[in-house]
């Protein structure tokens, strides 16, 4: 073996060792700082982890773009969805007076809220874009109570890492990390464009998450669970969309 | 150009490599394409195919294009593609809906984007340090004359076979089109792609506002992708015209092959 190839071999070996160690350290740090999404396994886990980790570092506190009132889409789009069950129709017939939002899990005081209770808290509004993964979009004014306010009322325990939210439609449930759950633009929205939130747009209560695609903004919210682990919820992938083959983190 | 290259195989490379390399004939001691160029070329090729297939899959879930911030089935379009959609929401005029393949397509699209961006960065950064950019991509001063440019265009229009020297270096039109792809189309396709990310634009809003809105970014992303596809098609046709076997061998093994003078 000549000098040059030996030197090359040693350099390559050192570089490889440094690379493997670096990757190990990176993986450990990523796990520690919550930079690993639940769909990190499998053939697309590499790209998904890079996206989630880099955007968590870049966008932890950034605000979704807000628009002037003149840019609100007219007429507002209400996309098609499967017909709702009798339970929903019964609540709708009663003007949603019996609609409840229950909160449990890693909280000091599990609680259940009526719509009137939620509306009694300081309301906020945002004019933001709803962007569907299919490619279409619209801008609307969303009125509601920040999710962080409700989480504060029930007293989230310090070890909490995710918030699950469930629709009355049993096939639609999602979860977000605490960075998104406590983000000032994450709303439990009950109003739209100065009025009640129409059923077609998710009324009476919808989660609004303007920094992620529309499928994370679940309609007809009835239940929240605060947790430190995704295990025990379906297949442990964090959401119904992920089980259907879509990314858990939809900030793109 | 040819004269300076003739000195490379004999002197600079094989002279200082004592063992096995000197046994190889002098003409094949120098690689036509360096290892880094070959590796990044084929990774980019794979990523491009993956991005193309997944991009088409994503596109057919809403084959309508808009200008400005928003667009949906209730708003007028800039233009529509006359193809069926994979979602029932879109009125296409077709009586059927294609199967929805958006899940894996989106995963594949963004993963390929990461790989091609990292590969592209490796290529561009190494091109600065190895001299690939200066020697092989930037046109030489003499080549930049109007006459050289018109001769090159005329030769291409006559489908004239490339000279033997061109098996060893890029011609003027190649250099200009590669530079355009690397420094204009690639950055544009990344930019317009990032402008569609709701999370990314929350951190860097100018990414999308400079383009005129999120739907404008989507429309521009489509056109830049078409330009890249056109480049790839012309590139493959040129490879076939110049000699498919020798050009492929050069990009895989680094050596154009023994019979390159003939083609």
CB contact under 8 A, A79 and B89: yes
C-alpha–C-alpha distance, residues B233 and B172, integer Å: 19
- Cβ(B90)–Cβ(B39) below 8 Å: no
pLDDT interval class at A9 (50, 70, 90): confident
| pLDDT values of chain B reduced to their tens digit, one per residue, 263 residues | 333 433 333 333 333 333 333 333 444 446 789 999 999 999 999 999 999 999 999 999 999 999 999 999 999 999 999 999 999 889 888 989 999 999 999 999 999 999 999 999 999 999 999 999 988 899 887 777 888 888 888 888 887 777 777 767 888 888 999 999 999 999 999 999 999 999 999 999 999 999 999 999 999 999 999 999 999 999 999 999 888 998 899 999 988 765 554 44
Write the class of the CATH domain A67-243.
Answer: alpha beta
> Which among B72, B111, B198 has the least Cβ separation from residue A77?
B72
Q: How many CB atoms lie within 10 A of CB A59?
A: 23
Residue B257's pLDDT is what? 66
C-alpha–C-alpha distance, residues B106 and A224, integer Å: 28
B78 touches chain A (CB under 8 A): no
- Cβ(A150)–Cβ(A83) below 8 Å: no
- Sort out which chain B residues have CB atoms less than 8 A from A136's CB and list them: 62, 64, 71-73
- How large is the ipTM? 0.89
Is 80 exceeded by the pLDDT of residue A241? yes
What percent of the residues of chain B are helix, what percent strand, and what percent coil, each to the nearest 5? Answer: 65, 0, 30
> Which among A44, A136, A211 has the least Cβ separation from residue B199?
A211
What are the tokens at A68?
A: 């002037």
Compute the half-sphere exposure of residue A152: CA atoms within 13 Å on the CB side of its CA. 9
CB contact set of B184 (below 8 Å; sequence gap of 6+): none
- Cβ(A215)–Cβ(A241) below 8 Å: yes
- Sort out which chain A residues have CB atoms less than 8 A from B21's CB and list them: none
CB contact set of A236 (below 8 Å; sequence gap of 6+): A38, A230
- Sort out which chain A residues have CB atoms less than 8 A from B74's CB and list them: 73, 75, 77
With a pLDDT cut of 70, the percent of chain B lying above it is: 85
> DSSP state, A217?
S
Residue A4's pLDDT is what? 60
What are the tokens at A145?
A: 């109570």
* Burial class, B25, CB count within 10 angstroms (exposed 0-12 / middle 13-18 / buried 19+): exposed
Which of B199, B214, B221 to mutate against chain A (most A CBs within 10 Å)? B199
- Sort out which chain A residues have CB atoms less than 8 A from B215's CB and list them: 137
Residue with tokens 């094949």: B28
Is 90 exceeded by the pLDDT of residue A19? no
B76 touches chain A (CB under 8 A): no
What are the tokens at B131?
A: 């001299």
Cα dihedral sign, B169-B173-B174-B178:
positive
For the stretch A196-231, pLDDT in tens is 999 999 989 999 999 999 999 999 999 999 999 999
> DSSP state, B204?
-
């Amino acid at each position: 073996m000549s000098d040059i190839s030996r030197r090359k071999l040693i350099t390559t070996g050192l570089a490889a060792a440094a690379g493997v160690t670096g990757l190990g350290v990176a993986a450990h740090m990523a796990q520690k700082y919550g930079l690993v999404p639940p769909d990190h396994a499998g053939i697309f886990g590499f790209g998904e982890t890079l996206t989630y980790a880099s955007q968590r570092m870049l966008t932890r506190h950034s605000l979704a773009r807000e628009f002037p009132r003149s840019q609100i889409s007219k007429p507002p789009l209400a996309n098609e969805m499967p017909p709702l069950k009798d339970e929903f129709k019964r609540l709708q017939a009663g003007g949603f007076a019996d609609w409840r939002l229950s909160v449990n899990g890693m909280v000091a005081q599990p609680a259940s809220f009526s719509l009137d209770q939620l509306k009694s808290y300081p309301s906020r509004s945002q004019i933001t874009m709803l962007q569907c993964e299919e490619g279409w979009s619209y801008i609307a004014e969303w009125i509601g109570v920040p999710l962080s306010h409700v989480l504060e009322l029930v007293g989230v325990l310090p070890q909490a890492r995710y918030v699950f939210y469930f629709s009355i439609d049993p096939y639609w449930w999602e979860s977000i990390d605490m960075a998104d759950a406590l983000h000032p633009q994450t709303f439990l929205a009950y109003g739209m464009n100065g009025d009640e939130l129409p059923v077609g747009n998710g009324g009476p209560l919808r989660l609004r998450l303007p920094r992620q695609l529309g499928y994370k903004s679940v309609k007809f919210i009835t239940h929240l669970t605060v947790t430190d682990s995704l295990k025990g919820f379906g297949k442990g992938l964090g959401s119904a969309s992920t089980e259907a083959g879509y990314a858990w983190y939809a900030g793109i | 150009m040819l004269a300076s290259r003739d000195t490379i195989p004999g002197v600079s490379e094989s002279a200082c490599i004592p063992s096995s390399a000197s046994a190889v004939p002098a003409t094949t001691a120098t690689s036509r394409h360096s290892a880094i160029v070959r590796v990044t070329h084929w990774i980019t090729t794979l990523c491009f195919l993956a991005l193309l297939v997944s991009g088409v899959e994503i596109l057919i879930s809403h084959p309508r294009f808009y200008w400005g911030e928003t667009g949906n089935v209730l708003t007028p379009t800039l233009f529509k593609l006359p193809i069926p959609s994979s979602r029932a929401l879109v009125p296409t005029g077709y009586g059927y809906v294609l199967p929805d393949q958006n899940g894996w397509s989106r995963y594949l699209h963004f993963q390929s984007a990461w790989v091609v961006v990292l590969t592209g960065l490796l290529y561009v950064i190494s091109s600065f340090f190895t001299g690939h950019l200066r020697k092989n991509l930037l046109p030489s001063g003499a080549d930049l004359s109007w006459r050289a440019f018109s001769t090159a265009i005329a030769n291409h229009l006559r489908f004239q076979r490339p000279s033997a020297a061109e098996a060893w270096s890029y011609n003027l039109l190649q250099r200009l089109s590669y530079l355009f792809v690397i420094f204009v189309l690639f950055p544009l396709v990344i930019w317009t792609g990032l402008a569609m990310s709701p999370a990314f634009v929350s951190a860097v809003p100018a990414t999308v506002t400079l383009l005129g809105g999120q739907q404008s970014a989507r429309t521009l992303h489509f056109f830049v992708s078409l330009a890249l596809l056109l480049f790839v098609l012309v590139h493959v046709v040129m490879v076939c015209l110049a000699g498919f076997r020798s050009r492929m061998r050069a990009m895989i093994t680094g050596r154009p092959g023994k019979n390159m003078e003939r083609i």
